[in-house]
Amino acid sequence: MKSSEALFARAVKVLPGGVNSPVRACGNVGMTPRFIARAKGAHLWDVECRRYIDYVGSWGPMILGHDFPEVTEAVQAAVKNGLSFGAPCEAEVRMAELMCALVPGLEMVRMVSSGTEAVMSALRVARGATGRSKIIKFAGNYHGHCDAMLVKAGSGALTGGRPDSLGVTPGAAGDTLTANYNDLESVRSLLSAHPGEVAAIIVEPVAANMGVVPPEPGFLEGLRRLCDESGALLIFDEVITGFRLALGGAQEFFGVRADLVTFGKIIGGGMPVGAYGGKRALMELVAPCGGVYQAGTLSGNPVAMAAGLAQLRHLRDHAELYDELSKRGAYLAQCLRVLGERTQVPVQVNQIGSLLTVFFTEAPVTNFQGACASDLDRFGRWYRGLLERGIYTAPSQFEALFLSAAHTEEDFSRTLEAAEETLRQLRR
Ligand SMILES: *Cc1c(COP(=O)(O)O)cnc(C)c1O
């Protein structure tokens, strides 16, 4: 029989760290990764046929669960007509029309193949539109791996202890300024130190790559105001929050408008898709309309579009899902807080909608510093305790748990049982 150990032993010889994306390697939680053979609904099976309740959901895309019939059927139908044309297809028009209909302020989008590409391109548009160079980002926010964004980055960069990557030249990173999340004063002082130089402020409207850290009331509104005053553009990186917090993403959820929005994850339904968009006047700067160059051989790929379109249509037609997911998120978070008290393990459970993180610290976590105060040794034991009990979560403190519409009450009660047993072990 196949085993994860044996596959990983082969993998490390031919893939750096045995993986194609760092955080999957599980080194920081003292483990080697499980190799997944298949997935259905809210469950995963590894190559040894062990079943897990999945709270990673491919890091966000699988909001309807795995092998969701409408998505799978749409992909199967598209595959028969050809995998890629490198020419326009109807699905990409429908996809763009649907996104523009659902997302506030979105008048045009450009499809790309990853969240990284979406961010990289949106930054280029912002610089092209303003004629300015500098970008403000927030410590612990992750925006993919383009050079300029690998400065105090979250997610795998943070997990691996390299929030600033090797191989990024001072030139590439020199125009990136870093502010503190939930701290408008830190943004204001950067803006006044660089008058007329800041092209954009880019933010995860809900930080989810240093663990989940929701914006404090007034933070996003404040960013909007600072952008209006300074002439910088506001970019919401909605690669996680888009179509997850609400159909219209964080803009709808918080009632704050961004100038440019980036997407990924959910919009591909599990296929490699990203997108960026905004007002027509900005997006018409993109080639071939305008002078901001950006292109992609597989962009708007018909199979990927079919998957994303099927998922977005289902979400549009069942928008009540968002309330339901939010209720379940709040329920799970509250139960975990109670278990923390009952077992006397200090936990902070940050939750918003279907996103949730358990931090092991006494103090509320509202920014990067707070997230870094979490007890990582405890986190490692928590992760391993859950996994042993069939609960599959992200192998890093600095990530979210993703709920899907496929999780059932039974999944939750098994999860909470496993959580309680694990917390009792952590106390010792
Ligand atoms: C995942 C993520 C990205 C990068 O997307 P990829 O598809 O992994 O390149 C960018 N921004 C945020 C907020 C993300 O969570």
Give whole-number Cα distances, 406 to 60, 62, 68, 306, 328, in Å.
13, 9, 9, 21, 11
In the residue annotation, 237 being an active-site residue is answered as yes
Tens-of-pLDDT digits for all 428 residues of the chain?
799 999 999 999 999 999 999 999 999 999 999 999 999 999 999 999 999 999 999 999 999 999 999 999 999 999 999 999 999 999 999 999 999 999 999 999 999 999 999 999 999 999 999 999 999 999 999 999 999 999 888 887 777 767 788 999 988 899 999 999 999 999 999 999 999 999 999 999 999 999 999 999 999 999 999 999 999 999 999 999 999 999 999 999 999 999 999 999 999 999 999 999 999 999 999 999 999 999 999 999 999 999 999 999 999 999 999 999 999 999 999 999 999 999 999 999 999 999 999 999 999 999 999 999 999 999 999 999 999 999 999 999 999 999 999 999 999 999 999 999 999 999 86
- Looking up residue 8, the CATH number of its domain turns out to be 3.90.1150.10
Question: Is 70 in contact with 310 (CB distance < 8 Å)?
Answer: yes
Nearest ligand 1 atom to alpha carbon 264: 7
Tell me, yes or no, whether 13 and 81 share the same domain.
no
Ligand 1 centre to CA of 414 (Å) is 30
| Domain that includes residue 390, residue range | 4-67+320-426
Tell me, yes or no, whether 80 and 147 share the same domain.
yes
pTM more than 0.85: yes
Tell me, yes or no, whether 308 and 416 share the same domain.
no
Mark out the alpha helices in 85-206 (DSSP H runs). Answer: 90-102, 115-130, 156-159, 170-173, 184-193
Ligand 1 centre to CA of 262 (Å) is 9
- Probe target for ligand 1 pocket from 240, 260, 261, 267, with the most ligand atoms within 8 Å of CB: 240
Tell me, yes or no, whether 203 and 97 share the same domain.
yes
Tell me, yes or no, whether 43 and 93 share the same domain.
no
Question: Is 104 in contact with 252 (CB distance < 8 Å)?
Answer: yes
Residues with CB under 6 A from ligand 1: 114-116, 119, 142-144, 204, 209, 237, 239-240, 264, 274
Ligand 1 centre to CA of 145 (Å) is 8
Tell me, yes or no, whether 19 and 50 share the same domain.
yes
In the residue annotation, 142 being an active-site residue is answered as yes
In the residue annotation, 2 being an active-site residue is answered as no
| 171 CB burial (10 A radius; 0-12, 13-18, 19+) | exposed
Give the residue whose CA is nearest to atom 10 of ligand 1.
Answer: 143
